[in-house]
Amino acid sequence: MKVAFFDTKSYDRTVFDPKFKASKIKVKYYDSRLDEDDAVLAKGCDAVCVFVNDTVNAKVIDKLAEFGVKVIALRCAGFNNVDIPYANSKGITVVRVPAYSPYAVAEHAMALLLTINRKIHRAYIRTRDFNFSLAGLEGFDLHGKTVGVIGTGKIGRVFIDICKGFGMKVIAYDKFPDRRSKIDYRTLDEVYAEADILSFHCPLTEDTLHMFNLGSINKVKPGVTIINTSRGALIDANALLKGIKQHKIRAAALDVYEEEGDYFYQDLSGNIIDDDTLSMLISMPNVIVTSHQAFLTSEALENIATTTVSNIKEVVGGEKCANEIRI
Ligand code: NAI
């Protein structure tokens, strides 16, 4: 069995390598992302292992099918970057890691909220320069505030529990609400109108693309704080920027960005960034951007590697795989 592993980072190799070796799976690690040009690297492999910013569209899938690839193994939960029906039509099975640590992502969402609210990012820079002034660092108590959670699946629920621990009131929107739960569901407009903090935890689909847009700016409570650890394209970043400039949005903390594929996971510190929206957002004192790192805990990496290797073994070995995605 042979696997082409795209968009490899050092931490991937550290956790994956022993597991591939133990399973006697040969693996070729590539730093580059899977796209039309680099699909050729999968020639002779049974599986490709990809992450959130690899491109797995019809053209790439055509090439993978031609090279004899049988499995596209996503080492993540979201699968918006893979044309699954097309892959299936070409006889390729797509598998993912549906849950590896909802805690990792939910805790990062809370870390972002605490940081942006209490301005830890600015305080850290100041005290390193022996500037001990507090001017401009005022936050607000989370206790008693209303958080609107959009998407109440595995991660959204852990985030709800964390928020409850802070004494926050939780309201939520989900297209498929769990009526057996005690979650206080509202319509999306109600959540937008009532929440002091909005946190996004639903997948990117045709329905959710730009679900936060220019129209939403007029619906939200003035002074709302926005947290997104889900997928960048849930939020129209230009609309977000406008809301921030109009002082309608108090602050935003983003682990994901619609056009992140061109930038995230790379050291571009010496480069000119072409994306004016991203540059403007990063330049704002009330915005934090992290580079799609919410998943990055040792527990999550370990679970991702274990499940991905077992997914590949099952499918290539002709077994039924519980983590196959069908839509
Ligand atoms: P999940 O599948 O357990 O929950 C998703 C929830 O969203 C479900 O309750 C579903 O009913 C709801 N939903 C579906 N369509 C919706 C719509 N149109 N409007 C509102 N809600 C809708 O997924 P999980 O594990 O909680 O992950 C959520 C998302 O977090 C993933 O789709 C992924 O995009 C993102 N994620 C981000 C990571 C990061 O490192 N930043 C890591 C892992 C996941």
Evaluated on CA atoms 298, 304, 305, 306, the torsion sign reads positive
Q: Is residue 321 part of a domain?
A: no
Question: Do 130 and 169 reside in the same domain of the chain?
Answer: yes
Q: In the annotation, is 292 catalytic?
A: yes
Please indicate whether residue 208, judged by its CB atom, sits closer than 6 Å to ligand 1.
yes
Instruction: Mark whether 33 is an active-site residue.
Output: no
Q: Mean pLDDT throughout 298-323?
A: 96
Catalytic residue (choose from 75, 231, 250, 258):
231
Q: For the chain, what is the largest distance between any 2 Cα atoms, rounded to a whole number of angstroms?
A: 64
Question: Strands 169-173 and 197-200: what pairing?
Answer: unpaired
Paired residues of 72 in beta bridges:
48, 94
CATH of the domain at 76: 3.40.50.720
Please tell me whether residues 200 and 58 are part of one structural domain.
no
Residue 327 clears pLDDT 90, i.e. is over it: no
Instruction: Tell whether ligand 1 has an atom less than 6 A from the beta carbon of residue 75.
Output: no
Residues 163, 180, single domain; the answer is: yes
List, for residues 132-190, the tens digit of each pLDDT value. Answer: 999 999 999 999 999 999 999 999 999 999 999 999 999 999 999 999 999 999 999 99
Q: Which atom of ligand 1 is nearest to the CA of 202?
A: 7
Structural domain that includes position 6:
2-100+298-316
For the chain, what is the domain count? 2
Q: Indicate if 260 belongs to the active site.
A: yes
- Whether 36 maps to a domain, the answer reads yes
Q: Are residues 54 and 195 in the same domain?
A: no
Q: What Rg do the C-alpha atoms of the chain give, in angstroms?
A: 21
pTM, to two decimals: 0.94
**DSSP per-residue string spanning 154-179:** HHHHHHHHHHHHTT-EEEEE-SS--T
Q: Is the CB of 267 under 6 A from ligand 1?
A: no
Q: What is the band of 26 on the pLDDT scale with cuts at 50, 70, 90?
A: very high
Residues 60, 166, single domain; the answer is: no
Same domain, residue pair 69 and 110: no
